[in-house]
Amino acid sequence: MNRTPVVFIHGAWLHALAWESWAERFAGRGFRAIAPGWPGEAAAARDMREDPQPLGSVGLDALMDHYARIVRSFDISPVIVGHSVGGLIAQHLIGANVGRAAVAIAPAPVNGVPLPAAQTRLWTPGGTDPADPADPAGPAGPLVSLSPRLFHEVFANTVRAEESDRLFERYVVPTSHRLLADLGYVDARAGRSPRAVACVDNPRRGPLLLISGQEDRLVPDSVTRAVYKQYGDSTAVTDLKQFADRGHSLVVDSGWRFVADYVLDWLADRGVDARQAEG
């Protein structure tokens, strides 16, 4: 018997180690768990904070190509689990028939579903006045960082400050200004329409699960529900799960296991087995 791979894709401001507990949990259920980092990502978040420059050139197309190559490299079609921008990539890949099934957790929105203006500003910290024409691009430079305080306010807003600080130390890294521009959030600060990141659906794709946190300040539950409605005419399986009292940190904070176990149960219900018969 061969183990079914599960490829975990992290999003902006998190390191690949954010999936370490998930990888252990999924491996314990018989899956082959892989959490590859973004191009140029070092082995630890602290290393990336000390020398984040390799992340500065990472854009959305490069991320999509990077993970498409990884997912296509397996003999057994993998499950794809993505968070935030990783959730956007998971939808893109499953829509292109890459992967057996996909889970998009608090995914950055696709297909023209807008983020409210207040949330768009949270994705581009570091600017001055977003309504000021002299500050059209928000943060300057190739990298956009979160301070421990801002991480707690916008990312880990449902946990205590002590837990948020621990999460920050282990998992948080700067993200790419180019990526935020590719997503359209930088343009949105200047009053221009965000880029519509399309995820083409088709009836032959594998099952897709969307997950939201109802206290998420970066990707509100309403946005994930709006994306879910866009799949309403599809004959392919699409499901939605909403977690009450959870923020954008729901994959790394102390409630991660509830989300991970729901995903494992969903995969089992959809007939995605941890092990595949040889031949």
Which burial class, exposed, middle or buried, applies to 148 when counting CB atoms under 10 A from its CB (0-12, 13-18, 19+)? middle
Range of the domain at 155: 2-276
Please check the confidence at residue 63 and state whether its pLDDT lies above 90: yes
* Helices within 183-220 (DSSP H only): 185-189
Share of the chain above pLDDT 70, in %: 88
Of 76-85, 116-125, 234-243, 244-253, the range with the lowest mean pLDDT is: 116-125
CATH number at residue 248: 3.40.50.1820
Its pTM surpasses 0.85: yes
At 139, phi and psi to the nearest 5?
-65, 145
Radius of gyration of the chain (CA): 18
Q: Is the pLDDT of residue 83 over 50?
A: yes
What is the count of structural domains for the chain?
1
Per-residue exposure over 123-135, b if at least 16 CB sit within 10 Å of its own CB, e if not: bbbebeebeeeee
Q: Please name every residue paired with 102 in a beta bridge, in sequence order, or none if there are none.
A: 80, 208
Q: Determine the pLDDT at residue 136.
A: 38
Q: Pull the structure tokens for residue 122.
A: 């949270």
- pLDDT over threshold 70, residue 195: no
What's the whole-number mean pLDDT along residues 88-95? 95
